[in-house]
A and B are shown apart, each in its own frame.
Chain A
Amino acid sequence: MTAKISYDDVEVGTELPARTFGVTRATLVQYAGASGDFNPIHWNEKFAKEVGLPDVIAHGMFTMAEAVRVVTDWTGDPGAVVEYGVRFTKPVVVPNDDQGATIEVSGKVAAKLDDNTVRVDLVAMSAGQKVLGMSRAVVRLA
Chain B
Amino acid sequence: MALDQSFVGRSYPPTEPYEVGREKIREFAEAVGDANPAYTDPEAAKALGHPDVIAPPTFVFTITFKAAGQVAQDPQLGLDYSRVVHGDQKFVYRRPVRAGDRLTVTSTIEAIKSLAGNDILDIRGEVHDEAGEHVVTAWTKLVSRAAEGA
Closest approach, in angstroms, between the C-beta of A116 and any C-beta of chain B? Answer: 14
Q: Is the CB of A1 within 8 A of B89?
A: no
From B31, B49, B54, B57, give the contact of A31 (CB < 8 A). Answer: B31
| Contact A79-B90, Cβ < 8 Å, known A69-B34, A72-B36 | no
Q: Is the CB of A83 within 8 A of B54?
A: no
Question: For chain B, what secondary structure do more than half of its interface residues adopt (helix, strand, loop), or is it mixed?
Answer: mixed
Chain A: which residue is nearest B137 at the CB level? A83
Identify which of A8-16, A60-68, A120-128 touches chain B: A60-68
Chain B residues with Cβ below 8 Å from A72 are: 34, 36, 56-57
Chain B residues with Cβ below 8 Å from A61 are: 58, 61, 65, 86, 89
From A36, A62, A64, A73, give the contact of B36 (CB < 8 A). Answer: A73
Closest approach, in angstroms, between the C-beta of B104 and any C-beta of chain A? Answer: 17
Q: How far is the CA of A83 from the CA of B58 in the complex (A)?
A: 11
Q: Is the CB of A79 within 8 A of B54?
A: yes
Chain A 44-100 residues near chain B, CB threshold 8 A: 60-62, 64-66, 68-69, 72-73, 76-79, 81-88
Q: Is the CB of A2 within 8 A of B49?
A: yes
Q: Is the CB of B31 within 8 A of A33?
A: yes
| Contact A85-B91, Cβ < 8 Å, known A68-B57, A68-B58, A79-B96 | yes
Q: Is the CB of B36 within 8 A of A84?
A: no
Chain A residues with Cβ below 8 Å from B90 are: 83-86
What string of 1s and 0s marks CB contacts (under 8 Å) between B85-114 and chain A? Answer: 111111111011000000000000000000
Chain B residues with Cβ below 8 Å from A134 are: 88
Q: Is the CB of A81 within 8 A of B86?
A: no
Q: Is the CB of B93 within 8 A of A83?
A: yes
Q: Is B132 an interface residue (CB 8 A)?
A: no
Q: Is the CB of A82 within 8 A of B93?
A: yes
Chain B: which residue is nearest A22 at the CB level? B33
Q: Is the CB of A81 within 8 A of B38?
A: no
| Contact A2-B48, Cβ < 8 Å, known A37-B65, A78-B39 | yes
Q: How far is the CA of A72 from the CA of B57 in the complex (A)?
A: 9
Q: Is A30 an interface residue (CB 8 A)?
A: yes
Residues of B within 8 A of A (CB): 24, 27-28, 30-34, 36, 38-39, 47-50, 54, 56-58, 61-62, 65-66, 85-93, 95-96, 139
30 contacts between A and B (CB under 8 A): A1-B50, A30-B31, A31-B31, A33-B27, A34-B27, A34-B28, A34-B32, A34-B62, A65-B32, A65-B57, A68-B58, A69-B32, A69-B34, A72-B36, A72-B56, A73-B36, A77-B48, A77-B49, A78-B38, A78-B39, A78-B56, A79-B49, A79-B54, A81-B93, A82-B93, A84-B58, A84-B91, A86-B88, A88-B85, A134-B88
Top 3 A-B residue pairs of the complex, sorted by shortest distance between their CB atoms: A85-B90, A34-B31, A79-B96
